[in-house]
Chains A and B, each alone.
Chain A
Amino acid sequence: MSCIEQMKYKLLLERTSFKEAREYIEKNSDEVYYVDPGYKIFKDYYIIGVPPIAMGAKGKDLLFTYVKPCHGAFVMSVESEEEIDKLRESEKKKILSSLKKGRK
């Protein structure tokens, strides 16, 4: 069992397709970031999904997809400014790296 199931989380969407879960995050977040499968959040959860995987920030809440083989995709939210900051930093790095490539 992943650490997420032991955290204080809200279920925003349940037992749906991954595509619908991604669209929910895109439509219901203040900020949206895209990560690859395997992106690690919290202590030990590696995001499963079809890239590009949307992750959202809404206030202090991180919105993300959670996929279970027998139950489909879920959209969960967990209060975590730390994880939101990690996404913002990673986005900054991506932009800087693409600007550097553009200059070459």
Chain B
Amino acid sequence: MAGCKILFVMGCPEVPVQTSIVLYFSNKLRKHGHRVTVAGTDAALRLLSVSDPEGHYIENTMDLDQCIADLVERRIEFDYCFVFMHNDAGMTYGASISVISKAKLYAIVFGKNAESIAETIEYPAEKIVAKAVHNPTPLKNKLDRVVI
């Protein structure tokens, strides 16, 4: 099914795999005909814009706080939402998205504490967990199995 509206919610960009995985997965979904919007902090979005200055992989971005406000006020909605997380704050954002959005939720959990963070997720979300910090391949391989 093409033409889905998909939201990526980026966590803190301190774990290196996040930026490359977001670029990779956004590109893949776009090639399947989906529309991807990436929300993140100013630092997370700057990493993307420097890596992809001409927007080949990332089409739309938005400030994370604005994204939350727009979801709550029903100004935007998505079919699928991928929340990238490697710490408690990321897990907390995922919990909020599970309440304020009707999108099917995926929790993409990575970083050195991936397993313990994943165990704290008690909200409805499909969990994709890989202990990836510098090497994105384990996470990429798991995301390649997601079919939209």
Contact = CB atoms under 8 A, between A and B. Distances in A.
Contacts of B99: 36-38, 51
Nearest to A2: B65
Interface size class of A (residues with CB under 8 A): 20 to 34
By DSSP majority rule, is chain A's interface helix, strand, loop, or mixed?
Answer: loop
Chain B interface mostly: helix
B89 A70 contact: yes
A87 B11 CA distance: 30
Nearest to B86: A69
A48 B71 contact: no
B11 A38 contact: no
A62 B65 CA distance: 21
A43 B39 CA distance: 21
Contacts of A41: none
Contacts of B64: 69
Question: Counting chain B CB atoms within 10 Å of each CB, which of A19, A40, A50, A68 scores highest?
Answer: A50
Nearest to B97: A37
Interface of A: 1-2, 17-19, 36-38, 40, 44, 46, 48-51, 67-73
Given A69-B41, A69-B64, 7 more contacts: A1-B65, A48-B68, A51-B99, A69-B11, A69-B44, A69-B93, A72-B87
Interface of B: 10-14, 40-41, 43-44, 64-65, 68-69, 71-72, 87-93, 95-96, 99-100, 122-123
